[in-house]
Amino acid sequence: MTPLAELFVRTRSEGRAALIGYLPAGYPSVDGAIDAMCAMVDGGVDAVEVGLPYSDPLLDGPTIQTAVDAALTAGVGTQDVLRTVSEVAATGAPTVVMSYWNPIERFGVDRFAAQLAGAGGSGVITADITPDEAGAWVAAATEHGLDRIFLVAPSSTEARIRLTAAAASGFVYAAAVMGVTGARSEVGAQAASLVARTQAVTELPVCVGLGVSTGEQAEQVARFADGVIVGSAFVRRLLDAPDPEAGVGAVRALAAELAAGVRRAARSPSA
């Protein structure tokens, strides 16, 4: 059983959703990002997504792009991402990489899978490759015991959702809204429908991302999803902080707020 699978067994036994936090590696520095990710875990995040900085992030909104651009300018690369994974995974929280396909392909698919597994990584969210185009990745991930996390969207057909869920492991990432990432004032109404459509064809956990930024929103999503994914709101805390130490504190505080929201939505394990 992978670390992610173990996590969802535990959260389901507790009758609650998992809280997953995202930050890009390398912002405000490699060590600063590691400190912030560990602070997320301290604050109550159950699993961590480590963003692999990429120059053409089609799905990332302006908040994440700002941090990623700064990391790339500073020369952050794949080896820095792998070191970040190793440090964060040492906290005991399942740690996955969020990446576009091009950096993985350039690094070497099997090489990336082997080194990620060696660093203690649990899997990869591949943001821009579909299961029917991911044969090389599925083979490498399977060989090295990594979870394969693919995305579904409100526009996905029933056939596409079924195909995606069949190819995935760990969890299915449900993009709650169409468009790029970014905190929103309210969670899109399509989110619950997309989760229900996906849960109808798979026993894998279905986690919602794109838009959650407050404890109240986390509570709302946790009432129908198996996991709540938060990214831009954490990045914004780092961007707005007057110094790295303050940013770490702000990230920890947001994680605690979100974790409290998720736990308010807890239901009986049989629900």
49 part of the active site: yes
Q: Per the residue annotation, which of 46, 60, 80, 226 is the catalytic one? A: 60
Q: Would you state the structure tokens that stand for residue 33, as one six-digit string?
A: 């990002």
Which of 35, 46, 49, 219 is flagged as catalytic?
A: 49
Burial category of 270 from C-beta neighbours within 10 Å (exposed 0-12, middle 13-18, buried 19 and up):
exposed
Q: Active-site residue 60, yes or no?
A: yes
Q: Which residues contact 270 (CB under 8 A, 6 or more apart)?
A: none
Q: What is the dihedral of CA 165, 224, 19, 187, to 10 degrees?
A: 100
User: Which residues on neighbouring strands pair with residue 112, listed in sequence order?
Assistant: none
Q: Per this entry, what is the length of the chain?
A: 271
Q: Which two tokens stand for residue 10?
A: 């535990």
Q: How many CB atoms lie within 10 A of CB 203?
A: 6
Judge whether 206 and 224 are in contact, CB under 8 Å. Answer: no
Among residues 4, 29, 81, 46, which one has the least CA distance to residue 259? 46
Rounded Cα gap, residues 175 and 32, in angstroms: 28
**Edge-to-edge strands, sheet with 123-126:** 147-149, 123-126, 95-99, 47-51, 18-24, 227-230, 206-209, 172-175, 151-152
Name the β-bridge partners of 48. Answer: 21, 95
Residues classed as catalytic: 49, 60
